[in-house]
Amino acid sequence: MTSRCSHGSSGGGSSSGRTRVGKYELGRTLGEGNFAKVKFARNSETRENVAIKILDKEKLLRHKMIGQIKREISTMKLIRHPNVIRMYEVMASKTKIYIVMELVTGGELFDKIVQSGRLKEDEARKYFQQLICAVDYCHSRGVFHRDLKPENLLLDAGGVLKVSDFGLSALPQQVREDGLLHTTCGTPNYVAPEVIQDKGYDGAKADLWSCGVILYVLMAGYLPFEDSNLISLYKKIFKANFTCPPWFSTSAKNLIKRILDPNPATRITTAEVIENVWFKKGYKPPQFLEENVNLDDVDAIFSEKVDPQNLIVEQREEGPVAPATMNAFELISTAQGLNLRNLLDKHMGIVKRETRFTSKCSANEIVSKIEQAALPLGFEVIKKNNNFKLKIQGEKTGRKGHLSVATEIFELAPSLNMVEIRKSGGDTLEFQLFYKNLSNGLKDIIWKAELINEETHGASTSA
List residues forming the annotated binding site. 53
Count of C-beta atoms within a 10 Å radius of residue 247: 11
Instruction: Report how far apart the first and last C-alpha atoms of the chain are (Å, whole number).
Output: 39
> Binding site residues for ATP, as ranges?
53
**Helix or strand (DSSP H, E) at 69:** helix 66-78
DSSP 170-208: B-GGG--TTS-B----S-GGG--HHHHHTS-B-HHHHHH
Which positions are catalytic? Answer: 147
How many residues comprise the chain? 463
Beta bridge partners of 406: 391, 422
Give dist(CA 303, CA 315) in Å, integer.
Answer: 22
Give dist(CA 199, CA 140) in Å, integer.
Answer: 24
Beta bridge partners of 38: 31, 53
Q: Which regions of 226-348 does DSSP assign to beta strands (E)?
A: 314-318, 324-325
Task: Confirm if 380 and 393 have CB atoms less than 8 A apart.
Answer: yes
Q: What are phi and psi of 408, to 5 degrees?
A: -140, 145
List, edge to edge, every strand of the sheet that includes 24-32.
Answer: 87-92, 96-102, 49-56, 36-43, 24-32, 17-21, 314-318
**CA angle in degrees (0–180, nearest 5) for 156-158-160:** 60
Task: Confirm if 14 and 322 have CB atoms less than 8 A apart.
Answer: yes
Q: How far is CA 4 from CA 126, 358, 366, 371, 420, in A?
A: 48, 13, 11, 17, 20
Give dist(CA 189, CA 223) in Å, integer.
Answer: 7
